[in-house]
Amino acid sequence: MKIAVLPGDGIGAEVTAEAVKVLERLARDGLAVEIEEAPIGGAGYDHAGDPLPEDTLRLAQAADAVLLGAVGGPQYEALPRPLRPEQGLLRIRKELKLFANLRPAKLYPELVSSSTLRPEVVMGLDLMIVRELTGDVYFGEPRAIHTNAGGEREGVNTMRYSESEIARVAHSGFRAAMKRRRHLCSVDKANVLETSELWRTVVTEIHREYPEVSLSHMYVDNAAMQLVRNPRQFDVILTGNIFGDILSDEASMLTGSIGMLPSASLDAAGKGMYEPIHGSAPDIAGRGIANPLATILSVAMMLRHTFSDVAAADRVERAVERVLAHGLRTADIYVEGTRRVATAEMGDAVVAALE
Ligand code: NAD
């Protein structure tokens, strides 16, 4: 298996270095991986004048999976828009046709005090949002700000989903549910929107191919409420681009720790780009204190979703749990009575816990 590692900017390089240590340790135990690094984002601009250099894109296209750190930094903010680091990220997602975004939100028992919700509400939380990433009102045409017939300015966007777009992300959702507790809740606004009515019909049709998975439907306003009222009722939530954008941020904050949350973006063949949900954190970059666990857990997602190596994925996740249980904490998740460690020390501890 070929893995393209794109560290990016700021803490991106620091956290991917620790994730690579984990991959190299697994490789010593027989995991057949080949790792190659390339610059992206601001690093891509510095290297080749392009946030997504040709060579980087070619490497990512040839790889079975991509591990990305994070992009962006204040030194790039004055660049013309097409040269900004974030454009590299948008372009690589588009070029690799990554239409299904998987965002787990899991609360580790040791970190329950980081959540803003009461322990009895969030303890044991372990859900995943599967969000459609390339369609919906964010991409639908026509879109414009124009002057209407009445002579006033008017903003227009178009919510649009084709049957095939819904079907392919529904398959991703059901496949993710098969690897978990086998319950899928499809979230829409079918009481008001035709796009949602079709969404619900197509998801129900695809469900016939996954009889082991139980399917329920929920309106998005209710889902937003249920996520803070009783988030443990969910296993996999499947939803469209705009609803998923909002619900996935809401769900990730239930765990209270941005440095702990991985993500995956998959194509139709299961090839994926795996990355922490956090950014390049310029405020702490270069100090060696960033939390590498979100990136290490992204490796676990890669093993599970692209390489279908459940045993290796479990092994990485268990190693992270063990390190937390031993009281090791980076600064972002530190509380009194635990041991504060640096980025590299946390990575080394996870590698040691794999033994
Ligand atoms: P951010 O996620 O980088 O940081 C938000 C806060 O969380 C900061 O205080 C930071 O120190 C902290 N934080 C983030 N990750 C952490 C970690 N692993 N360990 C410890 N603390 C961590 O978001 P931001 O400050 O809004 O954005 C900074 C830059 O990152 C911007 O240029 C933005 O465009 C970019 N960004 C990139 C991505 C991406 O590459 N996917 C995502 C979001 C933001």
Residue-wise pLDDT for 290-323, tens only, equals 999 999 999 999 999 999 999 999 999 999 999 9
Q: Are residues 126 and 95 in the same domain?
A: no
pTM: 0.92
Catalytic residue, from 97, 126, 138, 219: name it: 138
Catalytic member of 55, 245, 267, 348: 245
* Same-domain check for residues 63 and 134: no
Instruction: Mark whether 77 and 153 lie in a shared domain.
Output: no
In a domain? residue 250? no
| CB environment 207-229: b (16+ within 10 A), e (fewer) | beebeebebebbbbeebbebbee
Max Cα-Cα span within the chain: 71
Write out the residue range of the structural domain in which residue 328 sits: 1-99+267-355
Residue 253, domain member (yes or no): no
Is 65 found in the same domain as 12? Answer: yes
* Closest C-alpha residue for ligand 1 atom 4: 281
Residue 29 falls in the annotated catalytic set: no
Q: Looking at the domain assignment, is residue 110 inside a domain?
A: no
Position 320 in a domain:
yes
Residue with tokens 């084709």: 162
Same domain flag for 128 and 54 = no
The domain boundary, picked from 237, 258, 291, lies at 237
Q: How far is the CA of 278 from the centre of ligand 1 (A)?
A: 5
Nearest atom in ligand 1 to 86's CA = 34
How far, rounded to the nearest angstrom, does the alpha carbon of residue 199 sit from its chain's CA centroid? 22
| Closest CA to ligand 1's atom 32 | 72
* 129 and 93 inside one domain: no
- Residue that is last in its domain, among 222, 237, 252: 237
Answer yes or no: is 248 within a domain. Answer: no
Annotated catalytic, 189? yes
The minimum-distance atom of ligand 1 relative to the CA of 281 is 3
Same domain, 93 and 136: no
Ligand 1 pocket mutation, candidates 6, 258, 289, 346, criterion most atoms within 8 A of CB: 258
C-alpha to C-alpha distance for 193 and 336, rounded to whole angstroms: 49
249 is catalytic: yes
| 254 inside domain | no
Distances in Å between the alpha carbon of 355 and those of 26, 301, 310, 328, 349?
Answer: 10, 20, 17, 17, 10
Q: What atom in ligand 1 is closest to the CA of residue 293? A: 18
Q: Please indicate whether residue 66, judged by its CB atom, sits closer than 6 Å to ligand 1.
A: no
Q: Is 106 inside a domain boundary?
A: no
- HEC string of the chain? CEEEEEEECCHHHHHHHHHHHHHHHHHHCCCCCEEEECCCCHHHHHHHCCCCCHHHHHHHHHCCEEEEEECCCHHHCCCCHHHCHHHHHHHHHHHCCCCEEEEEEECCHHHHHHCCCCHHHHCCCEEEEEEECCCHHHCCCCCEEEECCCCCEEEECCCCCCHHHHHHHHHHHHHHHHCCCCEEEEEECCCCCHHHHHHHHHHHHHHCCCCCCEEEEEEHHHHHHHHHHCHHHCCEEEECHHHHHHHHHHHHHCCCCHHHCEEEEECCCCCEEEEECCCCCCCCCCCCCCCCHHHHHHHHHHHHHCCCCHHHHHHHHHHHHHHHHCCEECHHHCCCCCEECCHHHHHHHHHHHCC
Residues 90, 130, single domain; the answer is no
Among this protein's residues, is 138 annotated catalytic?
A: yes
Q: Retrieve residue 352's tokens.
A: 């040691």
283 with 353, same domain: the answer is yes
The structural domain count of the chain equals: 2
Residue environment code for 60-93, b if the CB has 16+ CB neighbours within 10 A, otherwise e: beebbbbbbbbbbbeebeeeeeeebbebbbebbb
Q: Tell me the CATH number at 290.
A: 3.40.718.10
Answer whether 228's CB lies under 8 Å from 254's CB. Answer: yes
Question: Can you give the CATH number for the domain in which 189 is found?
Answer: 3.40.50
Residue closest to 108 by CA, chosen among 287, 351, 293, 308? 293
Same domain (yes/no): 148, 214: yes
Residues 304, 346, single domain; the answer is yes
262 Cβ below 6 A of ligand 1? no
**Where is the domain boundary, 237, 259, 291?**
237
pLDDT tens, per residue, the chain with 355 residues: 999 999 999 999 999 999 999 999 999 999 999 999 999 999 999 999 999 999 999 999 999 999 999 999 999 999 998 999 999 998 999 899 999 999 999 999 999 988 889 999 999 999 999 999 999 999 899 999 999 999 999 999 999 999 999 999 999 999 999 999 999 999 999 999 999 999 999 999 999 999 999 999 999 999 999 999 999 999 999 999 999 999 998 998 898 788 999 999 999 998 999 999 999 999 999 999 999 999 999 999 999 999 999 999 999 999 999 999 999 999 999 989 999 999 999 999 999 999 8
Question: Could you tell me if 351 and 321 lie in one domain?
Answer: yes
Å from CA of 73 to ligand 1 middle: 9
